[in-house]
């Protein structure tokens, strides 16, 4: 082989022996880089070899994952957007509020009223107009 002759010309000893292994380091596959690498052969470094193996394994795993991700993205899924209108919940009177808070949230009636009062003073709740229509005066003279 041409490469064996080329290497023997620059290396001392029996380069073709199975007991002798050298590594050519090059970063580009050009005639200049390969010839320079052949002139400066080195013994393999176990850590570098393991690093190369790890990089190849990572490239493979990431490539498989990326391919799967691309396949998922390439599928065309028809999505229909539907506007959903939900009716406003009915207002609760005090008794109904305490019942729902107790059954649904496990709150005592006292806790429910404290939370409702806090929400009312912060402006998150308003008094029901229904209560006003059922005999409660709009204004109280003081």
For the segment 83-109, the average pLDDT, to the nearest whole number, is 83
Q: What does each C-alpha distance from 39 to 8, 49, 50, 74 come to in angstroms?
A: 10, 21, 24, 49
pLDDT tens, residue by residue, 14-28: 556 667 788 888 888
Neighbours of 98 (CB within 10 A): 19
Q: What is the pTM of this model?
A: 0.33
Closest by CA to 35, choosing from 46, 50, 24, is: 24
124-142 pLDDT tens trace: 777 665 555 555 555 555 5
Burial of 11 (C-beta count, 10 Å sphere; 0-12/13-18/19+)? middle
Q: Provide the residue ranges of all domains of the chain, joining segments of one domain with +.
A: 19-71, 94-129
CB 11 within 8 A of CB 41: yes
């Amino acid at each position: 082989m041409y490469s064996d002759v080329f290497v023997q010309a620059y290396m001392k000893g029996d380069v073709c022996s199975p007991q002798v292994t050298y590594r050519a380091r090059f970063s580009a596959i050009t005639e200049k880089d390969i010839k320079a690498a052949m002139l400066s052969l080195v013994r393999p470094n176990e850590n570098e070899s393991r690093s190369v193996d790890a990089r190849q394994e990572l490239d493979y795993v990431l490539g498989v994952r990326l391919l799967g991700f691309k396949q998922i993205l390439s599928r065309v899924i028809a999505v229909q957007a539907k506007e959903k209108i939900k009716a406003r919940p009915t207002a609760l009177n005090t008794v109904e509020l305490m019942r729902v808070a107790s059954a649904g949230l496990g709150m005592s009636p006292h806790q429910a009223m404290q939370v409702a009062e806090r929400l009312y003073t912060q402006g998150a709740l308003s008094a029901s107009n229904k209560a006003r229509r059922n005999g409660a005066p709009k204004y109280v003279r003081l």
